[in-house]
Structure 1
Amino acid sequence: MKIEILRVLGTRAQHPAVLAIVDGFTIRWSPRDDWSCTCDELQFPTCPHIPAVENVIAPRILGGTK
């Protein structure tokens, strides 16, 4: 998978967000809306793009501790 991280603003930012492109699909994260992907859910019943981005983002950026 080709992952392009466009924007990462951690939970300490005024408007925390993650924006990435994975294989041409847009992945977004915000604390209020959680993760979303523009891939076709019928094609990918379990979206592989969101876990790919989660694996390259440090958990403390998303508010987790590790």
Structure 2
Amino acid sequence: MRPFLVIAVAALLSASTDYKSAQEEWRRDYQASLLAPTGWLAVAGLFWLHNGENRIGSAPS
């Protein structure tokens, strides 16, 4: 009984570590794709933002 318990605990710890590292890798890749120059965070009103100041609306300021 004891060897089975040790093997089961080791398997569970290994699986949770694999899941955690896969999740962290996905989050890094997802954030990189959002922050890329052609990512969704560079879009405003379906127009690409340019370097420098980007004005929105018709107010003079």
TM-score by length of 1: 0.23
TM-score by length of 2: 0.25
Q: Which has the higher strand share?
A: 1
User: Highest CA radius of gyration, 1 or 2?
Assistant: 2
Q: Which has the higher helix share?
A: 2
Structure having greater relative contact order (Cα 8 Å, sep ≥ 6): 1
